[in-house]
Chains A and B, each alone.
Chain A
Amino acid sequence: MATVTCKDFQDRFEPSDDSPRIDSPPDLDAKAHLRDCPACRSFVQDLGMIRAAAAELAASDPEPPARIWFSLRAELEKEGIIRDTPSKSWLREFFGGRFSALPRPVLAGGYLAALLAIAFGLSGPINSRINRQRWLDGTQSSTMPLSAELTSAEKASFSSLPASESSESPVTASLHKNLEIVDNYISLCENSVREEPENELAREYLYEAYQQKADLLAQLNER
């Protein structure tokens, strides 16, 4: 019988997927080694325990949140991949298509807060009978939470940067420069929405600018 070392055994050991028992190596030399070697017995048992614990991990996974589907569907409609959209409520049509990607981790809370604020502030159809002032107030309350969340995320992003930014990399500098560009557009769009609250195109530009800002902040945070 050839001598099997622990290294040989552990490197070659391959539990059979068909066998319920993980500690049943096929060849005689390996079986003999397993019988005589406590370290390799513990190795085999450890692998079995890891495998058993891993199987339980999936059972503990949470359900994916419903917003993934809403966001996904909005993007599919926007891209024309979904082609037979049933009639939707104005509310869902208004904010469902505005964000084509979930925000990155740092902005997930801001996104949810903004959706709730938008739903509250803009519920109800647009028609000429709506009081203009109430519409304006609805507009302001719907843009404020997202704007505030993005501002605080931006501050958090900058506060985590090293104190001296004189040696900022070109990539980071480019991200900052583009962030300024987007901030400028947000300001222009906000003015436009304030002047003409019924202008859906202006709103669409505004929310897309917010989304761009969120993406840029997330990229900055990743560096």
Chain B
Amino acid sequence: MSTAQFLPLRFNWKTGLLAPGLLLFTSSTVFAHNIEKHFKVEPRSMVTIHNPNGKVVVKAWTKSEIMVIATHTSDKVEVDAEQTGNRVDVMTHQISASVSPEDMRADYQINVPEDAELQIHDDSGEVSVANVLGDMNVETIGAGVDLEDTAGYLTVKTVGGSFQCIRCAGRLEVSSISGSFKLLSLRSYHVHAQTSKGSILFDGEFLPNGIYRLKNYSGVIEVHFSPGDSFDLSATSLKGKVNSQANLTPPAHPHTVYSKFGNAILGTFNAGHAKVELSSFDGTINILKRE
């Protein structure tokens, strides 16, 4: 970012040459607005972020404090961060009647205690959260969402934004229309992931009594497993293919009516401790052994 410097000028012929140049310089210089705010909080604080366009990066730290750093370039928007009790609300709002999407852009870097609860709404841009262990609700339209080393109850909803979750624990529910999902090194006991057009890659642990439901309309659903895993599998694609490298024993439970239609693979792998349900309308489902 840069700010223009207004220097005192002595009037002489050199100034006469310089002045128009300076004018041009100042008129094309971008003024960036920065705010930084700190809020002291108690355990299990809550942070809400509403940002129509821009980057939202949230990281955990060891302080009992929430730090908000916001940057925006347009004078037509304002960023607010205010505290009410143990909750901090962060919002970008327009202060001019006509604002373009680019004017609405604001980027945030927010540090929170690791047990903070987050509610994030970011239409377009990017959302990334790392090491936060509290519950989380993230909604975007086109913004991609990246979570790393998070836990708690995670609900993520996008329209077109992609979703990546690495080493996440707790409970995960994610839905999208055209976004794709990558669920890597997961340690969640409940995963419900549904996208229409996107693909889903699941490469994580199947915890005992865990439930893993992955669903799409088209695209690929790919699940990786290890020889030591234990799950009951139900994989159905109405119009597409289902391929499995898992040696399954016939299911202990009655077939559902779904198995009459489309292509289905049902069975138990090892002791069947977790429940894995994969379903696609006309996409391909691959259940592959980890190398």
Binding site for B on A (CB under 8 A): 79-80, 169-171, 174-175, 177-178, 181-182, 185, 188-189, 192, 196, 198-202, 205, 208-209, 212, 216, 219
Report the separation of the CA atoms of residues A223 and B53 in the bound assembly, to the nearest whole angstrom. 14
Report the separation of the CA atoms of residues A201 and B258 in the bound assembly, to the nearest whole angstrom. 6
A residues within 8 A CB of B196? 181-182, 185, 209, 212
A174 near B141 (CB under 8 angstroms)? yes
Report the separation of the CA atoms of residues A188 and B238 in the bound assembly, to the nearest whole angstrom. 11
B211 near A80 (CB under 8 angstroms)? yes
Q: Is the interface of B mostly helix, strand, loop or mixed?
A: loop
B residues within 8 A CB of A189? 281
Q: Which of B52, B211, B217, B239 neighbours the largest number of chain A CB atoms within 10 Å of its CB?
A: B217
7 A-B pairs with C-beta separation under 8 A: A79-B173, A171-B101, A181-B197, A185-B218, A201-B236, A212-B196, A216-B177
B residues within 8 A CB of A212? 177, 196
A residues within 8 A CB of B53? 171
Q: Which of A171, A196, A198, A219 neighbours the largest number of chain B CB atoms within 10 Å of its CB?
A: A171
Q: Does B178 make an interface contact (CB < 8 A)?
A: yes
Mask: chain B, 154-190; 1 = CB below 8 Å from A; 0 = not: 0000011000000000000100011000000000001
Q: Does B142 make an interface contact (CB < 8 A)?
A: yes
Binding site for A on B (CB under 8 A): 52-53, 101, 123-124, 141-142, 159-160, 173, 177-178, 190, 192, 194, 196-197, 211, 217-218, 236, 238-239, 257-258, 260-262, 279, 281-282
Known: A178-B160, A181-B178, A205-B238. 14 other contacts (CB 8 A): A79-B173, A169-B101, A171-B123, A171-B142, A181-B196, A188-B281, A189-B281, A192-B239, A198-B257, A201-B238, A201-B279, A202-B261, A202-B281, A208-B194
Given contacts A178-B159, A185-B217, contact A200 B101 (CB under 8 A): no
Closest residue on chain B to residue A208 by CB atoms: B194
A residues within 8 A CB of B142? 170-171, 174
B178 near A178 (CB under 8 angstroms)? yes
A170 near B190 (CB under 8 angstroms)? no
**What 3 pairs across the A-B complex have the smallest Cβ distances?**
A178-B177, A199-B261, A201-B258
A residues within 8 A CB of B178? 177-178, 181
B residues within 8 A CB of A177? 160, 178
B residues within 8 A CB of A175? 141, 159
Closest residue on chain B to residue A80 by CB atoms: B211
A residues within 8 A CB of B261? 196, 199, 201-202
B281 near A216 (CB under 8 angstroms)? no
A residues within 8 A CB of B260? 198-199
B residues within 8 A CB of A196? 261
Closest approach, in angstroms, between the C-beta of B122 and any C-beta of chain A?
11
B177 near A192 (CB under 8 angstroms)? no
A170 near B124 (CB under 8 angstroms)? yes
B residues within 8 A CB of A80? 190, 211
Closest residue on chain B to residue A78 by CB atoms: B192
Report the separation of the CA atoms of residues A198 and B124 in the bound assembly, to the nearest whole angstrom. 41
A residues within 8 A CB of B141? 171, 174-175, 219
B177 near A170 (CB under 8 angstroms)? no
Report the separation of the CA atoms of residues A202 and B282 in the bound assembly, to the nearest whole angstrom. 11
A residues within 8 A CB of B279? 201
B217 near A174 (CB under 8 angstroms)? no
